[in-house]
Amino acid sequence: MTHAPWPAPYSPQPLDATVTIPASKSLTNRYLVLAALADGECRLRAPLQSRDSDLMVGALRALGAVIREVPGTGSVPDLVVTPIPAGSPVDAVVDCGLAGTVMRFVPPLAALLKGPVTFDGDTAARVRPMAPIVAALQGLGVRVAGAEGGFMPFTVHGTGTVEGGHVAIDAGASSQFVSAILLVAARFSQGLHLEHTGESVPSVDHISMTVEVLRSLGVEVDDSTPKHWIVQPGPIAAFDVELEQDLSNAGPFLAAALATRGTVRIPNWPARTTQVGAKWREILPQFGATVTLEDGVLTVTGGPDILGVDIADTSELAPSTAALCALASTPSRLRGIAHLRGHETDRLAALVAEINALGGNAVETGDGLIITPAPLHGGLFRSYEDHRMATAGAIIGLAVPGVEVEDITTTNKTMPAFPRMWAAMVAQTAAAG
């Protein structure tokens, strides 16, 4: 299906807006997996409603979890989850779409059931790396059929139990490979000793999130030795949790303050969080912004100029960060993000192509990008079926008239209301003016 290009709203005046962000995709999908394995009924309050979370709900229902929508106190229904009975018989096909959390987190869970579960997804999902998950399951004695070249489609043939023990993988392509095994490891008969054999793991903040969520539910995890995680066997406690808003998805809205030299406020910002999006409080001041957190409201005000930066390990925040670099007055370098080549698209190549198509000057390095100031002009900013590419185009469009985003509906992946929210943010300023 082709979609008409989305004219990105242009704001010639500084923004002055307050924006509330939907729940975290990373937390929603982790809690959904754990709810399917918990020792009782669980409730997720104000969870994310998006394509990725819908795909996770569909996957877990296919495996035998009962998931009901019930009225909540927020603007979206809560989810009540009845766990999958241990060792349940199953014969299912799981549609992963383009959701990394589904394609990586659900196969280890399927290994605990009895029967075949086939995993497939969008065309673009068939080129996302899966070999470490397949290798980990095979190393744990689970039969996996297919996975030619380490990609979907493949079928996990569970026997009802996984013994566990020591397994070594190279998770250099994605932290999700580590999180995927850790999430279910407490249900292995002997627990798990997971060892990462590569140099470093990207997005370690996401692994820390997984470990902290597990510990909050009574799972014993020892991560005191670098590149090793030891999980003791035992129950996963039932829970009732309210989901934090998605701080990564807050990024484009915060970046909008810098792009327009204005102010954007986001209420209910957590004082302490495991989300990688917490880094915005460190990243944005380097661009020259003023950032404050008072009474739970994060306020970002852009400076007179966007300053170039030299930043490492921005992970999924990199597309929004790169958009600001393209608008900066001095050169920037983004380092430690080589793994973005295996995300929804090759984000490094995509960012270079689209920034340069608008007159920018971006080049790839071995592990990131160098972006040098250049006059930008309007034009089509392609989205590559990638939600974070689409929002990067929206950021540039605030400061550059005539930018069109190829397919804004890709934001359905984690924030279906993005086009409406973005327009409303700009409209708040217009109304105030």
Encode pLDDT of 349-376 as tens digits: 999 999 999 999 999 999 999 999 999 9
Confidence of residue 203 (pLDDT cuts 50, 70, 90): confident
pLDDT in the model for residue 200? 80
Residue 77 near residue 57 (C-beta atoms within 8 A): no
If we measure between CA atoms, which residue out of 94, 43, 30 comes closest to residue 64?
A: 94
Residue 431 is predicted with a pLDDT of 63
Give the Å distances, CA to CA, from 253 to 187, 248, 287, 372, 391.
Answer: 40, 10, 15, 23, 9
The lowest-confidence range among 7-11, 233-237, 340-344, 393-397 is 340-344
Q: Is the sign of the CA dihedral 374, 378, 380, 382 positive or negative?
A: positive
Band (pLDDT 50/70/90 cuts) for residue 202 is: confident
Q: Which of 229-233, 269-273, 281-285 has the lowest mean pLDDT?
A: 269-273
CB atoms closer than 10 angstroms to residue 141:
14
Q: What is the pTM of this model?
A: 0.91
pLDDT at 174: 87
pLDDT tens digits along 102-133: 999 999 999 999 999 999 999 999 999 999 99
pLDDT score recorded for residue 198 = 86
CB atoms within 10 A of CB 183: 28
- How many Cα neighbours within 13 Å face the side chain of 45? 8
Nearest to 52 by CA among 12, 18, 98: 98
Average pLDDT, the chain: 95
User: Which pair of structure tokens corresponds to residue 115?
Assistant: 């029967």
Residue 295 has pLDDT above 60, yes or no: yes
Reported as a pLDDT band with limits 50, 70 and 90, residue 432 is: low
Percent of the chain with pLDDT over 90: 91
Active centre residues (catalytic): 316
Label residue 224 exposed, middle or buried (CB < 10 Å: 0-12, 13-18, 19+): exposed
Whose CA is closest to 393, among 324, 338, 309?
324
d(CA 11, CA 308) in angstroms, rounded, equals 22
Tell me the two tokens of residue 28: 């929603």
CB of 177 closer than 8 Å to CB of 204: no
* For residue 172, pLDDT beyond 90: no
Tell me the pLDDT tens digit for each residue of 25-67: 999 999 999 999 999 999 999 999 999 999 999 999 999 999 9
pLDDT at 73: 87
Element (H, E) at 143: strand 143-146
Going by C-alpha positions, the residue among 163, 32, 144, 50 that lies closest to residue 98 is 50
Instruction: Tell me what pLDDT residue 1 has.
Output: 57
| Structure tokens given for 332 | 């920037």
